[in-house]
Structure 1
């Protein structure tokens, strides 16, 4: 990958999180991962499954990138390196947000665009590399033995709801919540329905 940054990987993200938990003397947690965060949760299940009390997987996938998806990551990395974060935002925002959000929530569109534009190019390159090179977590799904909530946006172009529902079925006892009017950024697009799904799940744990 052009300009790839050593040190960025799903494994390193997971190791950093475990080090933080150790530093805070926290033995077990409920983890919630959005998109890349979901891939980090799968890595936590590989490395330290007993540290996870429950998991929430939002807008993510178990499968590794296909060859075509890997090429797309490299193309995006080249764009970031050549033209900067603003060009990445221009390309990504229409894919990240639902059609309803793009048409009816200009403030959310502006916020997501600004978040991407603020990101340093080195960070974008590193995250793209971590996404591209993540392992396939599909074989892990049937081994999960803690409560799991899978949350999908009904208009997510990146992690389509049908695939996420299939992933939920593969995890023993997992719940599935579909957020209407959301794309890949449901926490910003539809915060109230998403918070309701989270609240119901967390209440059931207590």
Structure 2
């Protein structure tokens, strides 16, 4: 069900469905909570309460009153949990959402009972990557979503998806097009300025699951090995045929692995 909450001076829109241990899912850039449609019903029917917010400026949420940074995004998530009187939850983050998850694990570890890293990495951008984000942020401010769509429409999907699921690509493109220019620019700069969490991974003791698509063109499966080497309690799966939108491209495999992880750790969630 759709809900709204006042959090840190910003009105957030979010899905909230089911009962049981809480699983909070954070979308990637430049997307919104709709990307979790294939997960909400299966998880809620399996006995979990699923919360999926639109991050500030994305989807139905107002722009951030605190500006855009990984700290600000993480503070917003904690504000939402406080508003819902939730102390500890499972947190899943896709791509940019995974960067926010790292921030939460560092700054609010007591609020995260288990972590799911989806199509993401622990490292920061190199100099070339930061320069690309700076340029793209300026273009987004000036031209809106078109420069973003031109780049991300291909990167987000496995090559085969372009042929087999054109409606999915059209839907995701529409989500990108609907995002406010300020949020696009803010998200890009927040990702540009994020810290490198690789050295901190051993300090994150929560049960962790890493999911990655074998055909991810926006990231490298090598990131999975970094998580596995650094996280003390890490499981992982590279899902065949999945791209960066692995949860939407291969939902049955994705959901089965996520539910297996949740069910085995349920007593501690």
- What range is the shorter-chain TM-score in? over 0.9
Displacement of 1:75 in angstroms is 2.0
Distance (whole Å) between structure 1 residues aligned to residue 83 and residue 152 of structure 2: 36
Matched, 1:71 2:127: no
The structure whose RCO (Cα within 8 Å, separation 6+) is larger is 1
- CA-to-aligned-CA distance 1:42-65 (integer Å, 9 cap, x gap): 111111111111000001110111
Matched, 1:22 2:82: yes
Structure with the higher strand share, 1 or 2: 2
1:145 corresponds to: 205
Indicate which of 150, 159, 164 corresponds to 2:219. 159
- CA-to-aligned-CA distance 1:96-148 (integer Å, 9 cap, x gap): 11111122211111111111111111110010011100111111111111100
**What stretches of structure 1 of length at least 5 have no aligned partner?**
none
Distance (whole Å) between structure 1 residues aligned to residue 197 and residue 96 of structure 2: 13
1:91 corresponds to: 151
What's the Cα RMSD here? Answer: 1.4
Displacement of 1:168 in angstroms is 2.2
Q: Which moved more, 1:179-188 or 1:143-152?
A: 179-188
Displacement of 1:179 in angstroms is 1.3
1:49 corresponds to: 109
- CA-to-aligned-CA distance 1:67-105 (integer Å, 9 cap, x gap): 000011012113223332133212211111111112221
Distance (whole Å) between structure 2 residues aligned to residue 81 and residue 49 of structure 1: 34
Decide whether the 8 Å contact of 1:153 with 1:160 is kept in 2: no
TM-score by length of 1: 0.93
TM-score by length of 2: 0.72
Distance (whole Å) between structure 1 residues aligned to residue 192 and residue 241 of structure 2: 28
Q: Which moved more, 1:192-201 or 1:15-24?
A: 15-24
**What stretches of structure 2 of length at least 5 have no aligned partner?**
1-63
How many residues get paired? 202
Q: How does 1:95-174 map to 2 (within 5 A)?
A: 95-174=155-234
Distance (whole Å) between structure 2 residues aligned to residue 104 and residue 165 of structure 1: 30
2:9 corresponds to: none
